Amino acid sequence: MTKAFDRPWHKQYPVEIAPSFEYDQKPLHQYLIESGDVYADVKALHFMGKEMTYSEVLYETKQFAEYVQQLGLNKGDRVAIMLPNTPQSVIAYYGVLMAGGIVVQTNPLYMERELAYQLNDSGAKMIVCLDILYPKVASVKSETELEHVIITGIKDYLPFPKNLLYPIIQKRQYAMVVKPEQSHDTHLWHHILQHSSGDFTPVDIDPMEDLALLQYTGGTTGYPKGVMLTHYNLVANTQMANNWLYKSKKGEQSVLGILPFFHVYGMTAVMNLSVMMGTKMILLPKFEPIDVLKTIDKQKPTLFPGAPTIYIALLNHPKLKNYDLSSIEACLSGSAPLPVDVQEKFEKVTGGKLVEGYGLTETSPVTHSNLVWGKRVSGSIGIPYPDTDAKIVNLEDNDTAVIGEIGEIAIKGPQVMKGYWNREDDTADVLSEDGWFRTGDIGYMDEDGYFYVVDRKKDMIIAGGFNIYPREVEEVLYELDAIQEVVVAGIPDPYRGETVKAYIVKRQDHEISEEELDAFCRKNMAAYKVPRKYEFRNELPKTAVGKILRRALVDEEKKKQSEKEPV
């Protein structure tokens, strides 16, 4: 551990946040068991008109745990969950943990090749999926170690008459009708609830050592890696988030669940935090701006974890003024840098606080955040969470950098992963023996302990011998009213090695030319940073949680150039 004087961020903590806490030595699912007792009659879930109390969610979770144990699930077996944000995603997640299994969160958008890779890499024994995803699972099942498939549908938790109408809508929307039948290796959700009493067998869990989750990295470069997160990793990070939100009272809040639970950010900041606090989750299976606006107006959530692209889409919706968003008290933004302009506008619309934070899959995920109620610094990812050490490592000699010096951000704390699944070499590359995790992000720390991310190490552009950090260029471009979204990337250039290109989505009813962009950039940044190319697009490629896929654009550019080269 670094010395106390090496943690200037502690001076920024309000009196309500202690620099260090005692974290619960308990399995993650114990929170649901406790909330099912203490908050038995409190609404736990709202889903498209359907509501469930904590006691109801706990009972069905116990039923699920009992059923998978009867199927042969043993301690340490992996179970893939391939679901959007639905009651089933919560029940299956905690049910697997209660049964002693390890959850493997699986993106419902995966194609067969991606799905087969993750199932094989994790060695998943079972999978829980939506009915419309079952054909994908069935097509790869023989290539994997899957023994059982559990199938559910959106209609399973819709109130009458939506549950009768939804299959018609589903057929029209997806041009498919899937009617799986109960068998020895295919199991229907309603069958599980009809044939289980909830009498599962408790499993001894060592929170410090036993895994709760295999969370696969985005895989934008190379094959995705399974991040091993223990029960203690997730418990600690959830408690850290709860302490950060010290004004939020248990049992009285409601959280908007747009961030997908199959992403570690949504899993911790929405699902685990809500269950620990005994608060209601308002679930939306996919992000549609108009649906979000209507939901906030009607359901009045108080907490709204999200990503910049989500807030940007809401601010730019033509019907924004028709809806009341004043219930929002606090928003934690992650997954990508939060433009200052977006922060200010969203706070004006809601009257709540929107702060930028930072984290990685390997850290459960949150490590830094600006204070929700206290000092915050625009453009900064904030200060480290309690019991979280952070430092900047010099890129040349690996020594700890001085204040203000740019280097790689390193993290140490109880939320840092155990390692990568079956990848000892990859683990050793980023995780030192004394617990320091090298993030791969480039940044610096100021004298008050606030950290700044300049960019990903791999995204740094080297053009004509100059180091260019895309975020610097993006922040300048975001100052223009005509720009809704922008991402800057380095593309191959025969003269400069790399050159700067900006991919831009314009706001509705706004126009701007390349000449105007070039003049504005040259006025506001050094000449070598100015984009040499601009491309206007209707949308930018993103992950399910709203993070713009810069690397996908770079790969797209390389492919274009290779096709132009003579054979």
Quick one: the chain helix, strand, coil %, rounded to 5? Answer: 35, 25, 40
Q: pLDDT per residue over 401-418, tens digit each?
A: 999 999 999 999 999 999
The DSSP bridge partners found for residue 103 are 79, 213
What tokens were used for 44? Answer: 């736990």
Domain 460-564 in the same topology as domain 29-206: no
Task: Count CB-CB contacts under 10 A for residue 138.
Answer: 17
Please state which of the four CATH numbers 3.40.50.740, 2.30.30.230, 2.40.50.140, 3.40.50.980 is assigned to the domain occupying 29-206. Answer: 3.40.50.980
Confidence of residue 565 (pLDDT cuts 50, 70, 90): low
Residue 1 has pLDDT above 70, yes or no: no
Residue 170 above 70 pLDDT? yes
The residues near 108 (Cβ < 8 Å, ≥ 6 apart) are 82, 83, 84, 129, 130, 133, 262
Query: How far apart are alpha carbons 458 and 490 in whole angstroms?
Result: 10
Looking at the chain, the whole-number percentage of residues with pLDDT higher than 90 is 77
Which residue matches tokens 């699902």? 271
CA-only gyration radius of the chain, Å: 24
Q: Which residue has the higher pLDDT, 529 or 384?
A: 384
Min mean pLDDT across 192-196, 296-300, 459-463, 513-517 is at: 459-463
- The whole-angstrom separation of Cα 422 and Cα 526 is 45
Please state the domain extents for the chain: 1-18+231-457, 29-206, 460-564
Contacts for 74-78 with beta carbons within 8 Å, 24 or more apart? 74/100, 75/100, 75/101, 75/203, 75/210, 76/100, 76/101, 76/102, 76/210, 76/211, 77/101, 77/102, 77/125, 77/126, 78/102, 78/103, 78/104, 78/122, 78/123, 78/124, 78/125, 78/214
Asked if 128 contacts 188 with a C-beta cutoff of 8 angstroms, the reply is no
DSSP reduced 3-state for 495: coil
For the cut 90, the answer to whether the pLDDT of residue 235 exceeds it is: yes
User: What is the pLDDT, as a whole number, of residue 222?
Assistant: 58
Cα separation, 353 vs 65, in Å, equals: 39
Class of domain 460-564: alpha beta
pLDDT tens for residues 117-164? Answer: 999 999 999 999 999 999 999 999 999 999 999 999 999 998 888 877
The DSSP annotation for 104-151 comes to: EE--TT--HHHHHHHHHHHT-SEEEEEGGGHHHHHHHGGGS---EEEE
State pLDDT tens for residues 12-65: 999 999 999 999 999 999 999 999 999 999 999 999 999 999 999 999 999 999
**Count of Cβ atoms closer than 10 Å to residue 166 Cβ:** 17
Mean of pLDDT values over 478-488: 95
pLDDT (tens digit per residue) in 367-392:
999 999 999 998 899 999 999 999 99
Is the pLDDT higher at 531 or at 337? 531
Whether 229 has a pLDDT exceeding 70, the answer reads: yes
What does pTM read for this prediction?
Answer: 0.88
pLDDT at 113: 85
Residue 344 structure tokens:
């200010």
Mean pLDDT, range 96-112, rounded to an integer? 94
Q: Is 536 exposed, middle or buried (0-12, 13-18, 19+ CB in 10 A)?
A: middle
pLDDT of residue 296: 98
Which option is the CATH number for 1-18+231-457: 3.40.50.720, 3.30.1490.20, 3.40.50.12780, 3.40.50.2300? 3.40.50.12780
pLDDT at 218: 59
For residues 253-271, give the mean pLDDT.
95
Mean pLDDT computed over 517-537 = 92
Q: What is the pLDDT of residue 359?
A: 94
Query: What pLDDT, on the 0 to 100 scale, is given for residue 178?
Result: 76
Is the per-residue pLDDT at 566 higher than 60?
no
